[in-house]
Every structure is written in structure tokens, then in C-alpha cells.
Structure 1
Amino acid sequence: MGQHDSDTLKDGLKIDEVEHTGADYSRNVNAKIRNPLLGIEKEQLKANTAAFCAQYGFVDKEDVFFRGALAAQNPTDYEDIPELTADDKHYLRREVTHRWHLPKDLYYSIALCSLGSAIQGWDNTGANGANLSFPQEFGIEHNTWLVGVINSGPTLFGLLSAWAADPINNYLGRRGTIFLTGLFCVFPVLAQAFTQNWWGLMICRLFMGLGMGVKISTIPVFSAEVAPASIRGGLVTSFQLWVAFGIFVGFCSNLVFYRIGRLAWRFQLAAAFAPAIPVLIFVWMCPESPRWLMKKGRYQEAFKAFCRIRNTEMQAARDMYYAHCQVLEERDAFAGVSLGRRAWELIAVPRLRRATLASGWIVISQQFSGINIMSFYSSTIFSEAGYSTKDCLLASMGFGLIMFIFAFPAVYTMDTYGRRNLLLLTFPNMAWCLLAAGLCFLMPTGSSARVPLIATFIYLFTALYGPGIGPMPSIYFSEAFPTSHREIGAALTICVNNSVGSALSLTFPSLLAKLGPTGAFGFYAGLNIVAFIVIFFIVPETKQHTLEELDYIFGVPTRRHVAYQVRVWLPWWIKRYLFFQKNAKLEPLYHLEGTSGPHA
């Protein structure tokens, strides 16, 4: 079966079109996205699925897998397939008409595991409020670099621990990894409340980073691997949704403990342990990632997991068999076994390099947006604007509330409007909001409009961040890499994220002191424009394609992608939106052959 499917794929992709043989996705010059089952005769497909079932112990499920293979082979033309039952066709139709009607086990898994991401947001805001008091208690209020190091402690150690995501996931699976990292989100977080000096606090925050570095690369990967392609973006968005929820609750917590006085920072920092408790207790009730189980050769368990997160056995068999066929191709294309070899292939193999470059730039762009600076230092910023301590916390809570509310639109737009389009829409608008907020600091201190205008532009910036770059990194790096390199790719992306985030968190207090609020905000406005330009050229669209089909997306050479944006997309956009030519036609970059994904 595997050999025949592989041969079919090789024959279907003409050498002069894609300039490669075998399953080498790195030279997909003609931008074709091909279904690996396309072109296989029905009798041969039945023989292939029978061989698959015999090999992996599904003899009693031969008919189910055959029907699933037919549905995978004909994702849009299933109505005329006589072998499919009436129930099969009914549920295939509902995948289009009722995309969000999925088993409760799927939503339970997404919700519970994403709850772990609330810890990250809550900790950021706990530090935000604590910045108003702990530097004074430890006598380091004038040492802006040291305050920056303490605040960025979790991302500094997260930079080191992110590399452990690959071996830990390999041995413990997604659930085991989430449980292990949850322990680091309870005990070091609570220990912060009992520290007696600045270096004790920093040690606690460094230990927090050990868990967070692995956690934030595992949870999105787990979500992406269990979600169906049509709403994968919306489901993985739950990671950012819960981060935003944690930020909002953290600001509320800051206000609750504010009246304690000079010891408030201890409670503000330690309260972030709360979301980790239900995760530690209930994570074992989630199904394990079926793609991880397939990677480990545990196909029986993988099928049971697929059945828990799909509406019917046929749909579970379809997704499993389709993924299996693509995994066979990936094994030929990406042969790395050791951790070092797989890490090297992220740079050496063009398909992987393009995924690494796009994912890495998206996480850099999130840091360039300035949102983490707002999360850590919004109270400090509002203090610069002339707010009292209480008003600083209230204004920061408004920032958290807006971030949480505007994370919801991304759930629905991520898989319709698209990842790339949302980024291109929001970055220029975030830039002018930051610039406007910075210029408002130049208004006279006594002006009654000064403080409200600063807050308004910061809130507008946050509202644009929510459905744009906010959820994008966790979605993109969790889907961009093939199964063979998903953990190490996510780990590298998180390392890039933590490196840039740590650098910006470390430097912002000094930047604010040297340039003032106007200069600092103008600096980040410029970074937003840089992020927009690079995204325009190098980041491909990934919406509504299966994880396996994305091998072809990232197989398109970067120069082909850049040339399309400059020669085709940009002229079309100018005609359509500047000259209002409604009849302007956009020639798609990707051409689908036997898949259900969208043209782009």
C-alpha cells in the first residue's frame, strides 16, 4: 500500500513542474497541493486499505477504512460514491454546514489544556502590578536593568528549556508533558510570595521558565494535532484566548490585593498558580494526540483517540489513513532521527527552512508589536502619564479586558479571513495607534485630554492585537512543521520568541528612561511596520489545509512566493481597493489537486 501511494505521488508531480523526485517537497515550483490518494483506482485503494488494516490490526474495520479512504480521496465529490452510507454523507455534509459540531471530548481537550496558558498571561500581569512595589522593598527601584532581568526571568529560562520540548514530548507524549510542566507552574509560582530578597525572587521566576518554555510549545501543538483542518485556526486560537483571560484575571487580582499595601506584590505574583491545579488533575482525561501515537507506531490507540475527537468512525478512519499516507512520504523526505540531525534539518532542508523562517518571523513580529511591554509595564506607562497607583491598576485592567474581548473574533476569522490577511490588516493599524499614543505624551501635563487620549490609543492598539498577531504564533508554529519535526520546530520557534521577548523586556525600562514614552512608543511603531513588510513577502497562508497538505505549501520556493506577492497580489490589490475595479481578478498562487482546502 505505502509503495503504491508513494509511486502515485511521484508520478502525479511532473519533474519539470516541481523539479524533484520522490516526496521532496522543497521544490514545489508550480505550487500544486496534491492529495496523495489522487489517481488510485478504487480496487487498488481497497487493496491498499486492506493491507493497512492487516498490518496494524484493523481487520474488523476494513470496510470503515475503505470508506474513509474514499472520502479522503474525494473530499468534495463524495455524494456520488455508492460505497459511502447515508450516515457517512450526512456527516460529511455537516463538516461544511456545521463545522463546529464536534464531540465534547475534543472541546474538553482544547479547553482544559489551553487553561494552562492562562498561567502565562496571569504571571505577566502579576509582575505588572508588582513592579509598583517590589523594587522599592528590595531597594532596586533605580536599577532598571535588574528589574528587567527579574521580570523576564521566565522567558530567559524558557529560552533554555524550550529545547527540552522535543525529548520530553517524545518520551511522555503531549499529556505527560503538559502535566510535568504544570508542576513548574505551581510550586515556583507560590514560592515567590515567600522570597526575602531580589535574587530569591529571580530564582523562583527562573524555575517558572523551566516549565513555561516547554508548555507554550506543547499546548498549541497538541491542539493543532487533534483539531480538524476546517476550524484548526479557531481551536488553536483558544491558547491566546486563555492567555488573554489570564491577563485580565491577573489585573483583577492586582486590584484585589492592592489594598494590602507594601506586601501586595507577594500575593499578586503568587496568585498565578491557580489555573495550573485543574490542568494537573484532569489532563489525563483528555485523549492523547493521535498523530503522536501514530508517530510512535501505536495505531490501535491512535484510532481510539481519533474516534473520541471525530463524529463518526468513518471520519476517524479517513483522517487517520490520510495522515498515514502522508507520514510515509515524510519519512522518505525528512530522514533525521537524532535531535541534532532534526535541528540541523530545520535549516538545511528547504521545506523545513521555509517553515522555520515564517514561524520564527511571526513570533518576532509579536514581540515587535510591543504587546509584552504593555503586559509587563502598562502600570508603569500609565504612571508616566500621570495616573495614581490605583488608577494605574484600573487602567491596566481595562487593557486586559479589551485584550480578552477582542481575542474572540479570531476564533471565527482565523479560518475564514485567513492568517496572513489578518496580519497584513492589523500591523499598520497597530503602528499608527502606538505612534498616536506616544505623541499624546507631548501634550501639556495639565491638559484634561492628555490621559484619556493616551489610554484610548493604547486600548485601540490592544483591540487590533487581539484578532491579529495575538493568537497567530501559537497557531502558525503548531501547524507549519511536519510530524517528524513538529516538536523541535516548535521548540526552536519558542526559543526565538523568548530570546527577542527577553531582550525587549530587559531593555524597555532603560529605553523608557532614555527616550521617554514618546520615543519608546515611536520605536515600537517602527518595529510594527518592519514586521508588516517582512510578513508580506515571506509568510504563506495556511488556513483550512490539513497538517499533511502544508508540506506542499511550504514546498513553494521563497522567491516564487515573493514574486507572486509583487507581480500578482499587489497589482490586484491596488486595482481592487485603490481604483475600485470590482472586476479585478486575482490569480491564486496555490493550485489544488484532489484536496478540499481553499485556493490562495
Structure 2
Amino acid sequence: MVGIGAIPAGIQCIILYWLPESPRYMIRKGRDEDARRVLFTIYSGAQAADIEEKVAYIREFTEDKRPGTKWEKAKKDFKSLYLVPSNLRALILACGLQGIQQFSGFNSLMYFSATIFKIVGFENPTAVSLIVAGTNFVMTCVTFTMVDRIGRRRILIGTLWGCSAGLLICAVAFHYLPRDPNTGEISATGSNRWAILILVSQIIYVMFYALGIGNIAWVGQSEVFPYNVRGFGTGMATATNWGANLILGSTFLTMMDRMTPSGAFGFYAGLCLLGWLFVLFLFPDLSGFTLEEVAEILSTSFGIGETRRRREALRQLGQDEKRRRQEALMDKV
């Protein structure tokens, strides 16, 4: 099992050979021509003047003219992560998403799914847990085709409700499982309708998790931090993810024992609803905006209204440009 984990890591290591550095890194290192080539690849069809404007814009935001040693600058950047309002809001968003991702209970379910299915009476719990894991893989692939078309915020608002529903159904099904009248322990078999409902509810939960917070937590983390605090910010967010994972992994079986399985899954459903409130009131859809634009949006608020205003302005600009071209074509005719 440990060796199998090396396969995807090896594939990723190989394909990294064709992954270029980011334009911001190249411009910061004085490799403007390399940055232009990457930008032409990203913005296919762009004019040379547009790329030059982009290079100048990136240089303005990434060029470090501050005095001091590298260590002194690093200390200032770390402080600015908490003292600069836009950076602090970015940190809250990134850490919040990563916390939601873990406290929704997914990794506990993955770690102990075979144990859960054994409790409810399935004869081959490992094979059943592989069905749940396979659902996660398939829906993750589906997410890649949806995340930019639908938008991060819309997907999260919808899928966190779905996660809560799946967990609540699972909690109810656990409550109604048949029990031994003498010991009170679960005495169901895999063919019991409530056991089957537990399997179905966990598949529903995993589907919505993979479509939403399971992926968007990492996507959102990569979109909110400006260049100078990017390393510190992503490090803090990733530490939040694995710190929460440690808490869940070490408490899940205890919760199942002390709170009953129904209580444990109901508790995770409640955390998903809290995550839904976090997204509803704080998380803007930042897809399509540059890192510099994101810093501007987060400078005064969490930017839910501002991102909508900017998207509408861009949409109107596109309509005006289309109208202008149509008028020019009619004049030629």
C-alpha cells in the first residue's frame, strides 16, 4: 500500500519537467523574455502590447525596492501577513477554507470507512470502502470541468448543503439500525435497508465533497495571497489543513464511542453548515482576477460585492466592444 502511493508522486515528478515557472517569479528574477513567452501561452491570442502592459503591471507589484537584508525583509513580510488588512483577509479566507475542508469530516470517513462498514454488518468492508473512495476520484475529475465555468462561490454554497444532507441521512440511518437487545450493540447485516442507506448517504456526501470544498480549498488558497506573503500564507493555510486533520483523525473513534455514530455524523453535519455560513458571508469568487487585483479587492472588505461589480463592468465592457465592432462592420457594408 505504501509503494502504490509512490506511483502518482512519480508521475507528477515527471510532468513537472514541462511546467514553467510563474511569470511573476521570472520577472522578479529579471527573466522578462521568458515571462513573455509564458504569458503568450496563458493569454493565447493576446497582442504584444497587451503582454507588455501585463509585464509592466506585474513588475510594479513584484519588484522589491525595500532596503535591508533578505532576513529583515522576510520578517517584515511575515508581520504584514497579519498587519496589512488585505493580507489578513486573505489569510482568514485560506485558513477558513482549509479548516472547513477537514472539519467536514471527510478524512475521518476515509481513514475509518472500513471500520464503519464493518460495524454496520458488511461482509467485505474494505471493498465497500473502495467504492466510496472511487466516487471521490471520479467526482474530483468532474470538478475540473466545472470550477471555472460555474464559479467557486456558487459551487461551495451548493455542495456544502449537499455534504450536510449526506451526513444527516447517515446519522438518522445509524439511529435506526437494529441492535442486540441485551448488549445494545449494532447487530445489522449489509443487506439491512438502514446499512444500505448508510452506504448511499456516504456516497452522496463524498460526491458533494469532491465537487466542492475538497478541491476548492486548495484552489482558493492559491488565488488570494500577493507575491510577498505567498509563501507564509500558503504555509499557514496548509498547516491549518493538516493540524485539523490530526485533530479529526485522533478523535473520530472516540466520538463514535462517546457520542454514538449518529451524534458524530450529526456533529460533522453541523460543522458543514457553519462552513456554509462562512462561505455565504465571507468568501468572494476571485476566479479570473490577477493576484494584484485580488489584493485591491480585499483591501477594504472581503469583496463579495466588489467582485460582482467588477464582473458586471467587464461583462458590460465586452458587450460595448461587441456592439462597436458590429457597428464598424455595418459601416463597411
TM-score for the superposition, normalised by structure 2: 0.81
Q: 1:398 — aligned with what?
A: 131
Structure 2 distance, partners of 1:489, 1:334, is: 20
Kindly report which structure 2 residues correspond to 1:528-543, keeping only aligned pairs within 5 A, or say none.
528-543=272-287
Q: Go from structure 1 to structure 2 and tell me whether the alpha carbon gap of 1:370 and 1:405 turns closer, same or farther (over 3 Å shift).
A: same
Choose which of 454, 461, 465 in structure 1 pairs with 2:209. 465
Structure 1 distance, partners of 2:67, 2:237, is: 21
Deviation of the 1:469 alpha carbon: 0.8
Q: Go from structure 1 to structure 2 and tell me whether the alpha carbon gap of 1:331 and 1:293 turns closer, same or farther (over 3 Å shift).
A: closer
Q: Go from structure 1 to structure 2 and tell me whether the alpha carbon gap of 1:320 and 1:278 turns closer, same or farther (over 3 Å shift).
A: farther
1:437 partnered with 2:156 = no
2:309 counterpart letter in structure 1: Y
1:348 counterpart letter in structure 2: L
Deviation of the 1:532 alpha carbon: 1.0
Kindly report which structure 2 residues correspond to 1:487-506, keeping only aligned pairs within 5 A, or say none.
487-506=231-250
Deviation of the 1:593 alpha carbon: 9.5
Structure 1 distance, partners of 2:134, 2:278, is: 30
> CA RMSD for the aligned pairs?
3.0
Deviation of the 1:357 alpha carbon: 0.7
Report SS of the residue matched to 2:2: helix
Contact 1:430 1:464 in 2 (8 A): yes
Q: 2:266 — aligned with what?
A: 522
Q: Go from structure 1 to structure 2 and tell me whether the alpha carbon gap of 1:323 and 1:433 turns closer, same or farther (over 3 Å shift).
A: farther
| Percent identity of equivalent pairs | 27
Deviations, residues 551-580 of structure 1 (Å, cap 9, x unaligned): 22212324x75xx6xxxxxxxxxxxxxxxx
1:415 partnered with 2:148 = yes
1:552 partnered with 2:296 = yes
Structure 2 distance, partners of 1:466, 1:533, is: 19
Report SS of the residue matched to 1:415: helix
Deviations, residues 484-535 of structure 1 (Å, cap 9, x unaligned): 2222221111111111111111211222232232121111111111111122
Structure 1 distance, partners of 2:84, 2:317, is: 26
Q: Go from structure 1 to structure 2 and tell me whether the alpha carbon gap of 1:593 and 1:519 turns closer, same or farther (over 3 Å shift).
A: closer
Q: Go from structure 1 to structure 2 and tell me whether the alpha carbon gap of 1:305 and 1:534 turns closer, same or farther (over 3 Å shift).
A: closer
Q: 2:12 — aligned with what?
A: 279
Q: Go from structure 1 to structure 2 and tell me whether the alpha carbon gap of 1:415 and 1:286 turns closer, same or farther (over 3 Å shift).
A: closer
Kindly report which structure 2 residues correspond to 1:80-479, keeping only aligned pairs within 5 A, or say none.
268-311=1-44, 314=46, 318-319=50-51, 321-329=53-61, 338-388=73-123, 391-442=124-175, 443-444=177-178, 445-446=187-188, 448-479=192-223
Report SS of the residue matched to 1:542: coil
2:138 counterpart letter in structure 1: I
Deviation of the 1:434 alpha carbon: 0.5
Structure 2 distance, partners of 1:329, 1:595, is: 22
Deviations, residues 116-152 of structure 1 (Å, cap 9, x unaligned): xxxxxxxxxxxxxxxxxxxxxxxxxxxxxxxxxxxxx
Structure 2 distance, partners of 1:369, 1:334, is: 42
Report SS of the residue matched to 2:149: coil
Deviation of the 1:385 alpha carbon: 1.4
Deviation of the 1:353 alpha carbon: 0.8
Contact 2:28 2:63 in 1 (8 A): no
Deviation of the 1:432 alpha carbon: 2.1
Contact 1:290 1:305 in 2 (8 A): yes
Q: Go from structure 1 to structure 2 and tell me whether the alpha carbon gap of 1:484 and 1:321 turns closer, same or farther (over 3 Å shift).
A: farther
Structure 2 distance, partners of 1:597, 1:544, is: 16
Uncovered stretches (5+) of structure 1, i.e. residues with no partner: 1-267, 565-586
Deviation of the 1:277 alpha carbon: 2.4
Tell me the matched-pair count. 304
Structure 1 distance, partners of 2:218, 2:317, is: 21
Q: Go from structure 1 to structure 2 and tell me whether the alpha carbon gap of 1:309 and 1:417 turns closer, same or farther (over 3 Å shift).
A: closer
Structure 2 distance, partners of 1:354, 1:348, is: 10
| Structure with the largest fraction of helix | 2
Structure 1 distance, partners of 2:222, 2:316, is: 18
2:11 counterpart letter in structure 1: P
Structure 2 distance, partners of 1:474, 1:523, is: 24
Contact 1:420 1:541 in 2 (8 A): yes
Deviations, residues 231-268 of structure 1 (Å, cap 9, x unaligned): xxxxxxxxxxxxxxxxxxxxxxxxxxxxxxxxxxxxx2
Q: Go from structure 1 to structure 2 and tell me whether the alpha carbon gap of 1:483 and 1:518 turns closer, same or farther (over 3 Å shift).
A: same
2:16 counterpart letter in structure 1: V
Deviation of the 1:316 alpha carbon: 7.1
Q: 1:25 — aligned with what?
A: none
Q: Go from structure 1 to structure 2 and tell me whether the alpha carbon gap of 1:394 and 1:593 turns closer, same or farther (over 3 Å shift).
A: closer
Deviation of the 1:453 alpha carbon: 0.6
Deviation of the 1:270 alpha carbon: 2.8
Q: Go from structure 1 to structure 2 and tell me whether the alpha carbon gap of 1:462 and 1:320 turns closer, same or farther (over 3 Å shift).
A: farther
TM-score for the superposition, normalised by structure 1: 0.47
Contact 2:140 2:210 in 1 (8 A): yes
2:281 counterpart letter in structure 1: F
Contact 1:306 1:316 in 2 (8 A): no
Structure 2 distance, partners of 1:395, 1:423, is: 27
Structure 2 distance, partners of 1:351, 1:345, is: 9
Q: Go from structure 1 to structure 2 and tell me whether the alpha carbon gap of 1:316 and 1:483 turns closer, same or farther (over 3 Å shift).
A: farther
Q: Go from structure 1 to structure 2 and tell me whether the alpha carbon gap of 1:279 and 1:505 turns closer, same or farther (over 3 Å shift).
A: same
Deviation of the 1:307 alpha carbon: 4.2
Uncovered stretches (5+) of structure 2, i.e. residues with no partner: 179-186, 319-333
Contact 1:423 1:468 in 2 (8 A): yes
Structure 1 distance, partners of 2:165, 2:292, is: 38
Deviations, residues 301-326 of structure 1 (Å, cap 9, x unaligned): 222333455545x4576346325314
Q: Go from structure 1 to structure 2 and tell me whether the alpha carbon gap of 1:280 and 1:441 turns closer, same or farther (over 3 Å shift).
A: same
Q: 1:590 — aligned with what?
A: 309
Contact 1:327 1:483 in 2 (8 A): no
